[in-house]
Amino acid sequence: MSGRDLVWALENSDLVVEQATLEQSIARMADEIRADHDEVPVFLTVMHGGLPFAARLAMELGARGLDLEFDYLHATRYRGETRGSDLVWKHRPATPLKGRRVLLADDILDEGHTLAGIIEWCLSEGAREVRVAVLVVKQHDRCVEGIRADYIGVEVPDRYVFGYGMDFHEQGRNLPAVYALKD
């Protein structure tokens, strides 16, 4: 990767959200989600980035008595790059969504293009409602109109972030905190 490996990224980044803060935020989100759900939602994890967050959130929801029907999807605009392009579907959920409430779990809401495509697809499959839980929201005003998260863990600066599901050139997704590259 020629100088762009994870060691380089960590040496040129700031820790912006510690693990304890992330886990407290996920617990708070679970309380909010539990208060909003009186039926078993289809819990869709957006792969790969959403996996660490979704796993933790699912356990917190289970501890609060909310059962989930699990499935996943894999749609990406990044494919290991730092800038997005067209949405590519690698896997669509097998669980029928018609008439169901869907809870999407994703790592980050940046500009919202990927999320917009996913929500549109869920609704086209007959989902009655789509709610969105994201671990991280970037602080800026470039989000796709009408796209928002219903449940938000933390906000981060408008910088390239990685860790806790988010990657730096497909590395560092399993870091237990969130880092931001220095400007």
Q: What is the pLDDT of residues 6-44, one digit of tens each?
A: 999 999 999 999 999 999 999 999 999 999 999 999 999
Q: What is the pLDDT of residues 74-100, one digit of tens each?
A: 998 765 555 556 788 999 999 999 999
Say what the pLDDT of residue 4 is: 67
Helices (H), the chain: 6-11, 19-36, 51-63, 113-124
Spatial separation of the C-alpha atoms in residues 33 and 52, rounded to whole Å: 18
- Nearest CA among 4, 41, 26 for reference residue 178: 26
Query: CB neighbours of 145 closer than 8 A, spacing ≥ 6?
Result: none
Percent of the chain residues past pLDDT 90, beyond the cut: 84
Say what the pLDDT of residue 87 is: 82
CATH number, domain 6-181, options 3.40.50.2020, 3.40.50.2300, 1.10.357.10, 1.10.3720.10: 3.40.50.2020
What pTM was estimated for this model as a whole?
A: 0.91
Query: Does the pLDDT of residue 176 top 50, yes or no?
Result: yes
Spatial separation of the C-alpha atoms in residues 34 and 133, rounded to whole Å: 12
- The larger pLDDT score, comparing residue 125 to residue 76, is at 125
Spatial separation of the C-alpha atoms in residues 180 and 34, rounded to whole Å: 31
